[in-house]
Structure 1
């Protein structure tokens, strides 16, 4: 979601906002008690949960000043706003950017932080609760100890919308366990160029696959947003972010409107049909015009033609990019709001946004009707979520965070996401008994690498960044005591006595911007040297590729006995081992076309190019239908 020109969070700010002292707890209790005390609005229609939402919204809107309304359109980053600011400026929303977490990074600290902000919002004269948003894009991935599910490209490989809906429900429970009612997910981009650093956030290159996987929205939002375990979902990024020229992040998507509608619009139509509550605008341009200021696509197509009744939120500082000049300007604000953006994600420039928008409204360049429409949309979702009746964290859901049941679900998703691409002489599945196995590779024993970007921090990290099971640990747990598993990351110590070598290689973690690959698309020199070392010992090599996209491996593939695409499996690496040893049959199928050469990119099904593996390809084990 975020721009690569990332605002850096200072350690001191994290400590101030994340640390919870006894004094802060007392202050929070005072705010809570004052917010729940009788007010002149206590008997107002908007306070009555038995009244229809529409009537409650209309009543509240009629009581709001211009400052109240402008605050509802404003979203600030947690490290750039104090709880007192929510009271003073009537701020309606707060978010955590990627990696922006309280200290310590625990579910309790998250819930305490959320409640402090909420208490401050409720202390305003009208007592309108704020709505907190977070990027829980493959589980509640900002929180240490949460269940980290496979990234979307792996879920697309499962071809299982019902499984994905269950993952959405599990993610919602873990997010709610920290108090948060709004998730900036799912990403419904249709990735058309593997050079793009966000390819792994796409369910697949065909619009029908992301459209089917909108089932995750039903899981997140539940039968009703009023369900205490539901979160507001966000379909992103509208629209065409996966089709930029050269796969450049935040670049230009140059297509006719007919092609844009055919390839990139269908998943959003499907999301609206499922009742998605919010939609996030994309950083990219369409034929040179930034989406954040595109009235035709946002108001005419999304809201009017497709009938979207939720609210539209901008991406991180996305409004600032409209006029092409650094720094938030009146022109940026005016064009975005008039285009149909309802809530502005202005992480650090929230004061300036409010001031600029106030001037635009008073000058008549942004109408009161447009402001009221935006506020009405936002308030409707706050009422539907039950935030007026249940504004604070429901800590009963904290027990679901990283629970055994959710990890079992993630393990199943990992197993179903594996795509077997080569299996010479039926070397797979491996025998768990009486076997001598050598394991090597940079990604064999690294939770951070197998989880990828958007895990604990924005770009992800290396090592044991959160609890989980590495692929190596999964292999060791899968074998019988009669077998021996030896591990060396570089492949040192292997010899011909081993019956098989498993090389777990691929990409390191990355997110948007940093993940773009404009040049070579192959394995690193380190990975290639490791595989060569294994081959030189005369041992059959099984390659497990941990990556966020297909890589250029056609030149090396003939030397490998088997190839398993594991994508970015998350914390439950034992799901990879389940397929390697046959506890789970390989059922995954390619959600993207696999390049035969980097020179082919972009390559997609039906474009006339000959791939290494076609869209939908996947092998099974002998005897499996």
Structure 2
């Protein structure tokens, strides 16, 4: 038989662990070290992938083959790098990773789903799973194998710039939404051991054709930092860490999540990137995780101050703590030099290196990467397809939360009249795809404007209203807007500018761009619904709340704003409820359910309905 002539690691009929051990036994120290490096695509070359060979390549936010590159261009780029890797001495394929955190959000024209805070408002685990499936297909269409998602942090302070990446402040809600892991990776096969990506035989050889490797992040406690400071310090007991922040990882492990990313943060002053107790004793020991742990972007550099000043120590501390793959991403030569030196000098054991590489190879074998290393051109048409856009629209309408409807005991404003003669649409976010999508959209921090293909809120309103309705749009209305004009009602759409990570850390959470002034002007003249686009609750002045007739929290809905029009005009009722507590004043923060002084403007779980059956 032909398979008899294959080395065991090449033989797909062999159990995964046999293949892992066989390949590991053939590798030099240099090849093992290279497997532990993940480099950015801009430094990938035949030398780095054939000569070394490096274990993984990633695209940073906004780093692609060309501006507005097509799915085909992405797939060609990844396949080219894969051919370089397969030409190495042992032919070990690379894992290509990307931050597809709310859809395949780096790719122009891809479907961008609501950010996690919006999905948390749905409480819909099946919806999360289906979004994972759709995201996986679009990622695989570009030849990419691995997404750094989901974020399963529990946000305990909305001043944190990554609040929108979290499903909720409540641990149990986050646990419910971890079903996205099964959507991304596919359900664990029957011979899967709970919590372990360990499989025998050939049961997964087709998985990577339509699924991707998921990555639960950021281990652990990143949502609990003091004052919500990004990359800050989470101060709590081990029991609190376990009960609040660690439980979602148990659900991810039960679904066979293959990779876990370490957090930039510290726990009681100890950086997670060098925390042996949490990574090795707890995650790999107590919880039995058999996949691999990857660092965050230049995460090990932060172990020294100034950053990376004693890089050899950074390598030593992180690898000995239990991190298996290092996201270098540019300084890979220095990383390999120091890692090899530390092994040869006995400061990092050979067994630690073998453990790390075994874990990396196990994930590559389990995912079917050796059998299916290249892109599948039959998937190219799924990028931004109608089915996925309809799913995103469903997610939007289920995530939107109605917080107010009517004032002074008058008739509720919502649902809006589709046949009104003239309506006003206003605000900085009414006709802006970039603002709708937020951070991690096309680029790392996102941007305003027509950054990709989709439907803005203004476009959705125009589509929803009858032909006889005149829709007047004024981004920044003035007194002249109301001269000799009679509006039935106004929809004002305002909110935050796009941001990511520390760029979003805020000590105050006022509505930017003078949004409150716009709302006040419009609401003093015409019945007004305020649609707030944001990654978290924002401060709402009591006088502003009194002036508006309706208030809708739309979070960061992504590209399919038709879902907002669906609920504004009553085609569907509101289903979303708050995934986080809405504060009265930033002086109350942090404030979560269970705090002794819990006195919110709107509590966790709050959300109104329009009772459409009664209004029809």
TM-score between both structures, scaled by the size of structure 1: 0.92
Task: Quote the offset at 1:561 in angstroms.
Answer: 0.5
Task: Quote the offset at 1:623 in angstroms.
Answer: 4.8
What SS does the corresponding residue of 1:566 show, helix, strand or coil?
A: strand
What SS does the corresponding residue of 2:425 show, helix, strand or coil?
A: strand
Following the alignment from structure 2 to structure 1, what is the Cα–Cα distance between the partners of residues 270 and 148?
24
Per the alignment, residue 276 of structure 1 pairs with 257
What SS does the corresponding residue of 2:216 show, helix, strand or coil?
A: strand
- The yes-or-no answer on 1:461 pairing with 2:439 is no
Per the alignment, residue 220 of structure 2 pairs with 239
After superposition, the C-alpha distances for 1:352-382 in whole angstroms (9 at most, x for unaligned) are 1111000110111111111111111110111
What SS does the corresponding residue of 1:422 show, helix, strand or coil?
A: strand
Following the alignment from structure 2 to structure 1, what is the Cα–Cα distance between the partners of residues 291 and 71?
29
Following the alignment from structure 2 to structure 1, what is the Cα–Cα distance between the partners of residues 431 and 154?
31
Query: How does 1:27-106 map onto structure 2 within 5 Å?
Result: 43-104=6-67, 105-106=69-70
After superposition, the C-alpha distances for 1:442-479 in whole angstroms (9 at most, x for unaligned) are 00000000000000000101111000000110000001
Task: Quote the offset at 1:285 in angstroms.
Answer: 0.6
Structure 1 vs Structure 2 CA RMSD: 1.5
Among 289, 306, 314, which residue is 2:287 paired with?
Answer: 306
Per the alignment, residue 195 of structure 1 pairs with 159
Following the alignment from structure 1 to structure 2, what is the Cα–Cα distance between the partners of residues 524 and 402?
31
Task: Quote the offset at 1:532 in angstroms.
Answer: 2.3
Per the alignment, residue 518 of structure 2 pairs with 530
Following the alignment from structure 1 to structure 2, what is the Cα–Cα distance between the partners of residues 362 and 314?
23
Contact 1:439 1:503 in 2 (8 A): yes
Per the alignment, residue 124 of structure 1 pairs with 88
Contact 1:99 1:458 in 2 (8 A): yes
Following the alignment from structure 1 to structure 2, what is the Cα–Cα distance between the partners of residues 181 and 64?
23
Contact 1:452 1:461 in 2 (8 A): yes
Task: Quote the offset at 1:236 in angstroms.
Answer: 0.3
Following the alignment from structure 1 to structure 2, what is the Cα–Cα distance between the partners of residues 557 and 80?
52
Number of aligned positions between the proteins = 585
Task: Quote the offset at 1:223 in angstroms.
Answer: 3.0
Contact 2:427 2:493 in 1 (8 A): yes
Contact 2:74 2:143 in 1 (8 A): yes
Structure 2 gap segments, 5+ residues each? 189-203
What SS does the corresponding residue of 1:411 show, helix, strand or coil?
A: helix
Structure 1 gap segments, 5+ residues each? 1-37
After superposition, the C-alpha distances for 1:18-61 in whole angstroms (9 at most, x for unaligned) are xxxxxxxxxxxxxxxxxxxx9x9961011111111111111111
Following the alignment from structure 1 to structure 2, what is the Cα–Cα distance between the partners of residues 390 and 260?
39
Contact 1:414 1:575 in 2 (8 A): yes
Following the alignment from structure 1 to structure 2, what is the Cα–Cα distance between the partners of residues 552 and 584?
28
Per the alignment, residue 23 of structure 1 pairs with none
TM-score between both structures, scaled by the size of structure 2: 0.93
Following the alignment from structure 2 to structure 1, what is the Cα–Cα distance between the partners of residues 521 and 598?
34
Per the alignment, residue 421 of structure 1 pairs with 403
Per the alignment, residue 590 of structure 2 pairs with 602
Per the alignment, residue 527 of structure 2 pairs with 540
- The yes-or-no answer on 1:349 pairing with 2:349 is no
Contact 1:152 1:202 in 2 (8 A): yes
Query: How does 1:197-596 map onto structure 2 within 5 Å?
Result: 197-223=161-187, 226=205, 227=207, 228-327=209-308, 329-424=311-406, 425-492=411-478, 493-494=481-482, 497-518=486-507, 520-524=508-512, 526-536=514-524, 538-555=525-542, 556-596=544-584
Task: Quote the offset at 1:533 in angstroms.
Answer: 2.2
Contact 1:72 1:93 in 2 (8 A): yes
What SS does the corresponding residue of 1:210 show, helix, strand or coil?
A: helix
